[in-house]
Protein backbone atom coordinates (compact mmCIF):
# COMPACT_ATOMS: atom_id res chain seq x y z
CA UNK A 1 0.00 0.00 0.00
CA UNK A 2 1.22 3.47 -0.88
CA UNK A 3 2.06 5.79 2.01
CA UNK A 4 -0.47 8.50 2.86
CA UNK A 5 2.27 11.03 2.04
CA UNK A 6 2.78 9.78 -1.53
CA UNK A 7 -0.93 9.20 -2.00
CA UNK A 8 -1.50 12.88 -1.27
CA UNK A 9 1.25 13.79 -3.74
CA UNK A 10 -0.42 11.65 -6.41
CA UNK A 11 -3.73 13.51 -6.13
CA UNK A 12 -2.06 16.52 -7.75
CA UNK A 13 -0.77 14.70 -10.84
CA UNK A 14 -2.82 15.94 -13.82
CA UNK A 15 -4.60 13.21 -15.76
CA UNK A 16 -2.68 11.76 -18.74
CA UNK A 17 0.61 13.24 -17.54
CA UNK A 18 3.96 12.04 -18.74
CA UNK A 19 5.38 11.80 -15.25
CA UNK A 20 9.02 11.99 -14.21
CA UNK A 21 9.60 10.99 -10.59
CA UNK A 22 13.11 12.03 -9.59
CA UNK A 23 14.70 10.22 -6.65
CA UNK A 24 12.07 7.53 -7.07
CA UNK A 25 13.63 4.86 -4.82
CA UNK A 26 11.18 1.92 -5.13
CA UNK A 27 9.24 3.68 -7.89
CA UNK A 28 6.11 3.34 -5.75
CA UNK A 29 4.76 6.71 -6.86
CA UNK A 30 5.02 6.20 -10.64
CA UNK A 31 3.63 2.65 -10.33
CA UNK A 32 0.66 3.95 -8.36
CA UNK A 33 0.13 6.88 -10.75
CA UNK A 34 -0.07 4.49 -13.70
CA UNK A 35 -2.28 2.00 -11.90
CA UNK A 36 -4.69 4.77 -10.90
CA UNK A 37 -4.82 6.10 -14.46
CA UNK A 38 -3.27 9.42 -13.45
CA UNK A 39 -0.18 9.23 -15.63
CA UNK A 40 -0.10 7.82 -19.15
CA UNK A 41 3.62 7.04 -19.04
CA UNK A 42 6.34 7.55 -16.49
CA UNK A 43 10.07 7.79 -15.97
CA UNK A 44 11.61 6.90 -12.62
CA UNK A 45 15.00 8.57 -12.06
CA UNK A 46 17.49 7.41 -9.46
CA UNK A 47 21.07 8.38 -8.78
CA UNK A 48 22.02 5.53 -6.41
CA UNK A 49 22.53 1.92 -7.45
CA UNK A 50 20.50 0.29 -4.62
CA UNK A 51 17.35 2.38 -5.07
CA UNK A 52 17.76 2.15 -8.87
CA UNK A 53 17.69 -1.66 -8.59
CA UNK A 54 14.66 -1.48 -6.25
CA UNK A 55 12.86 0.67 -8.81
CA UNK A 56 13.69 -1.79 -11.62
CA UNK A 57 12.37 -4.78 -9.64
CA UNK A 58 9.22 -2.98 -8.56
CA UNK A 59 8.38 -1.97 -12.13
CA UNK A 60 9.05 -5.49 -13.37
CA UNK A 61 7.06 -7.07 -10.57
CA UNK A 62 4.03 -4.89 -11.28
CA UNK A 63 4.41 -5.63 -15.00
CA UNK A 64 4.53 -1.95 -15.84
CA UNK A 65 7.78 -2.03 -17.83
CA UNK A 66 5.93 -1.07 -21.00
CA UNK A 67 4.92 2.28 -19.55
CA UNK A 68 7.52 3.04 -16.85
CA UNK A 69 11.15 3.47 -17.74
CA UNK A 70 13.68 3.41 -14.89
CA UNK A 71 16.75 5.54 -15.60
CA UNK A 72 19.92 5.97 -13.60
CA UNK A 73 21.36 9.45 -13.25
CA UNK A 74 21.66 12.64 -11.27
CA UNK A 75 18.49 14.73 -10.96
CA UNK A 76 16.97 15.91 -14.23
CA UNK A 77 19.94 14.60 -16.27
CA UNK A 78 17.84 11.50 -16.94
CA UNK A 79 15.32 13.57 -18.95
CA UNK A 80 15.30 14.96 -22.46
CA UNK A 81 13.89 18.46 -22.75
CA UNK A 82 10.15 18.34 -23.35
CA UNK A 83 9.83 14.70 -22.38
CA UNK A 84 7.86 15.05 -19.14
CA UNK A 85 4.76 17.13 -18.49
CA UNK A 86 4.79 16.66 -14.73
CA UNK A 87 7.76 16.21 -12.39
CA UNK A 88 7.59 14.92 -8.83
CA UNK A 89 10.51 15.20 -6.39
CA UNK A 90 9.64 13.84 -2.97
CA UNK A 91 11.14 12.79 0.33
CA UNK A 92 14.31 14.90 0.25
CA UNK A 93 15.39 18.10 1.93
CA UNK A 94 14.31 21.41 0.44
CA UNK A 95 17.89 22.40 -0.33
CA UNK A 96 18.50 19.23 -2.37
CA UNK A 97 15.20 19.60 -4.26
CA UNK A 98 16.09 23.20 -5.15
CA UNK A 99 19.57 22.16 -6.22
CA UNK A 100 18.18 19.44 -8.50
CA UNK A 101 15.77 21.92 -10.09
CA UNK A 102 18.45 24.55 -10.49
CA UNK A 103 20.95 22.19 -12.10
CA UNK A 104 18.29 20.92 -14.48
CA UNK A 105 16.64 24.24 -15.35
CA UNK A 106 16.96 23.72 -19.11
CA UNK A 107 14.85 20.55 -18.85
CA UNK A 108 11.92 22.42 -17.35
CA UNK A 109 10.80 24.61 -20.26
CA UNK A 110 7.93 22.34 -21.34
CA UNK A 111 7.02 20.98 -17.93
CA UNK A 112 3.50 21.99 -16.96
CA UNK A 113 3.54 21.11 -13.28
CA UNK A 114 6.03 20.46 -10.50
CA UNK A 115 4.92 18.59 -7.38
CA UNK A 116 7.54 18.88 -4.67
CA UNK A 117 7.50 17.33 -1.22
CA UNK A 118 10.42 18.55 0.88
CA UNK A 119 10.88 16.76 4.22
CA UNK A 120 12.42 19.93 5.66
CA UNK A 121 13.04 23.52 4.56
CA UNK A 122 10.06 24.01 2.24
CA UNK A 123 10.92 27.73 2.41
CA UNK A 124 14.05 27.09 0.31
CA UNK A 125 11.90 25.43 -2.36
CA UNK A 126 9.34 28.29 -2.34
CA UNK A 127 12.16 30.73 -2.73
CA UNK A 128 13.61 28.84 -5.68
CA UNK A 129 10.20 28.72 -7.38
CA UNK A 130 9.69 32.44 -6.84
CA UNK A 131 13.08 33.27 -8.33
CA UNK A 132 12.63 31.03 -11.36
CA UNK A 133 9.26 31.88 -12.84
CA UNK A 134 7.20 29.16 -11.13
CA UNK A 135 3.93 30.08 -9.48
CA UNK A 136 2.67 28.09 -6.51
CA UNK A 137 -0.85 27.01 -7.43
CA UNK A 138 -1.57 24.93 -4.37
CA UNK A 139 -0.17 23.36 -1.24
CA UNK A 140 -1.03 20.44 0.95
CA UNK A 141 0.09 19.30 4.37
CA UNK A 142 -0.11 15.76 5.68
CA UNK A 143 0.77 13.98 8.90
CA UNK A 144 2.01 10.42 8.83
CA UNK A 145 3.68 8.37 11.59
CA UNK A 146 4.16 11.47 13.72
CA UNK A 147 5.86 13.44 10.94
CA UNK A 148 4.38 16.35 9.06
CA UNK A 149 5.04 16.84 5.35
CA UNK A 150 4.36 19.81 3.09
CA UNK A 151 3.52 19.37 -0.59
CA UNK A 152 4.04 22.24 -3.04
CA UNK A 153 2.39 22.36 -6.45
CA UNK A 154 3.76 24.84 -8.99
CA UNK A 155 3.13 25.82 -12.60
CA UNK A 156 4.84 28.32 -14.87
CA UNK A 157 3.21 31.67 -14.24
CA UNK A 158 3.36 34.67 -11.95
CA UNK A 159 5.60 33.69 -9.05
CA UNK A 160 4.52 36.53 -6.80
CA UNK A 161 0.77 36.11 -7.29
CA UNK A 162 0.03 33.74 -4.38
CA UNK A 163 1.89 35.89 -1.86
CA UNK A 164 0.12 39.23 -2.13
CA UNK A 165 1.70 41.60 0.40
CA UNK A 166 2.60 38.72 2.74
CA UNK A 167 5.79 37.66 1.01
CA UNK A 168 7.93 36.98 4.09
CA UNK A 169 5.31 34.91 5.92
CA UNK A 170 4.24 33.28 2.68
CA UNK A 171 7.73 32.01 1.93
CA UNK A 172 8.14 30.50 5.39
CA UNK A 173 4.66 29.11 6.05
CA UNK A 174 3.32 28.70 2.53
CA UNK A 175 0.67 31.14 1.26
CA UNK A 176 -2.06 28.51 0.86
CA UNK A 177 -1.27 26.69 4.09
CA UNK A 178 -1.15 30.00 5.94
CA UNK A 179 -4.57 31.01 4.64
CA UNK A 180 -6.04 27.60 5.42
CA UNK A 181 -4.62 27.27 8.98
CA UNK A 182 -5.41 23.56 9.23
CA UNK A 183 -4.94 21.66 12.49
CA UNK A 184 -1.88 19.89 11.07
CA UNK A 185 -0.38 23.23 10.04
CA UNK A 186 -0.89 24.63 13.55
CA UNK A 187 0.57 21.49 15.06
CA UNK A 188 3.68 21.75 12.88
CA UNK A 189 4.39 25.38 13.74
CA UNK A 190 3.62 24.97 17.44
CA UNK A 191 6.09 22.11 17.44
CA UNK A 192 8.75 24.16 15.60
CA UNK A 193 8.20 27.06 17.98
CA UNK A 194 8.65 24.86 21.09
CA UNK A 195 11.77 23.40 19.51
CA UNK A 196 13.28 26.85 18.90
CA UNK A 197 12.29 28.01 22.39
CA UNK A 198 14.08 24.99 23.84
CA UNK A 199 17.25 25.76 21.85
CA UNK A 200 17.05 29.38 22.93
CA UNK A 201 16.83 28.40 26.61
CA UNK A 202 19.88 26.18 26.25
CA UNK A 203 22.00 28.82 24.55
CA UNK A 204 24.84 30.42 26.54
CA UNK A 205 24.27 33.76 28.21
CA UNK A 206 23.90 36.89 26.13
CA UNK A 207 27.08 38.43 24.76
CA UNK A 208 28.99 35.13 24.44
CA UNK A 209 30.13 35.77 20.88
CA UNK A 210 28.85 37.28 17.64
CA UNK A 211 27.87 34.03 16.00
CA UNK A 212 25.76 32.89 18.97
CA UNK A 213 24.23 36.35 19.16
CA UNK A 214 23.21 36.20 15.49
CA UNK A 215 21.73 32.73 15.98
CA UNK A 216 19.82 33.94 19.04
CA UNK A 217 18.41 36.91 17.10
CA UNK A 218 17.35 34.61 14.29
CA UNK A 219 15.53 32.27 16.68
CA UNK A 220 13.80 35.14 18.46
CA UNK A 221 12.68 36.48 15.08
CA UNK A 222 11.34 33.08 13.96
CA UNK A 223 9.46 32.53 17.22
CA UNK A 224 7.92 35.99 16.88
CA UNK A 225 6.91 35.24 13.29
CA UNK A 226 5.16 32.02 14.35
CA UNK A 227 3.38 33.71 17.27
CA UNK A 228 2.05 36.36 14.92
CA UNK A 229 0.42 33.96 12.51
CA UNK A 230 -0.98 31.27 14.79
N1 LIG B 1 10.80 9.77 -3.63
C2 LIG B 1 10.71 8.63 -2.72
C3 LIG B 1 9.75 8.93 -1.62
O4 LIG B 1 9.35 10.08 -1.47
O5 LIG B 1 9.38 8.02 -0.86
C6 LIG B 1 12.07 8.26 -2.17
C7 LIG B 1 12.66 9.24 -1.20
S8 LIG B 1 14.26 8.75 -0.70
C9 LIG B 1 14.33 9.30 0.93
C10 LIG B 1 15.30 9.86 -1.60
C11 LIG B 1 15.84 9.22 -2.87
O12 LIG B 1 16.39 10.24 -3.71
C13 LIG B 1 16.94 8.22 -2.62
O14 LIG B 1 16.60 7.00 -3.22
C15 LIG B 1 18.16 8.86 -3.29
O16 LIG B 1 19.02 7.90 -3.89
C17 LIG B 1 17.53 9.76 -4.33
N18 LIG B 1 18.33 10.91 -4.73
C19 LIG B 1 19.02 11.76 -3.95
N20 LIG B 1 19.64 12.71 -4.68
C21 LIG B 1 19.31 12.46 -5.97
C22 LIG B 1 19.64 13.07 -7.21
N23 LIG B 1 20.42 14.13 -7.27
N24 LIG B 1 19.12 12.54 -8.34
C25 LIG B 1 18.32 11.45 -8.30
N26 LIG B 1 17.99 10.82 -7.16
C27 LIG B 1 18.47 11.31 -6.01
Q: Which atom of ligand 1 lies at the shortest distance from residue 48's CA?
A: 16
140 is a domain residue: yes
How far is 3 from 107, CA to CA, in rounded Å?
29
Q: Report whether residue 115 contacts ligand 1, using a CB cutoff of 6 Å.
A: no
Q: Report whether residue 178 contacts ligand 1, using a CB cutoff of 6 Å.
A: no
Could you tell me the residue range of the domain that residue 101 belongs to? 4-171
Same domain, 162 and 106: yes
Instruction: Provide the pLDDT confidence category of residue 115 given band limits of 50, 70 and 90.
Output: very high
Same domain, 18 and 101: yes
Average pLDDT (42-71) is 98
| CATH number, residue 96 | 3.40.50.150
Q: Which atom of ligand 1 lies at the shortest distance from residue 96's CA?
A: 20
* pLDDT at residue 184, as a whole number: 98
Tell which of 124, 146, 171 closes a domain. Answer: 171
Residue closest to 137 by CA, chosen among 121, 113, 119:
113
CA 182 to ligand 1 center in whole angstroms: 28
Tell which of 171, 194, 218 closes a domain. Answer: 171
Same domain, 17 and 76: yes
Average pLDDT score over the chain: 96
Same domain, 85 and 142: yes
DSSP code per residue over 72-113: ESSGGGGS-TTS-SEEEEEEE-HHHHHHHHHHTGGGGTT--E
180 is a domain residue: no
User: What ipTM was estimated for this complex?
Assistant: 0.99
Amino acid sequence: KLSERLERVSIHIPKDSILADIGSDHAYLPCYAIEQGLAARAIAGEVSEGPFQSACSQVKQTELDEVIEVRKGDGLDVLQEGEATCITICGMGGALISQILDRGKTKLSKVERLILQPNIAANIVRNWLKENGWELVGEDIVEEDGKIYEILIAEQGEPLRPYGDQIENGLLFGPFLLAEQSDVFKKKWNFEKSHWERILRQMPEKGENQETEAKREQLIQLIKQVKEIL
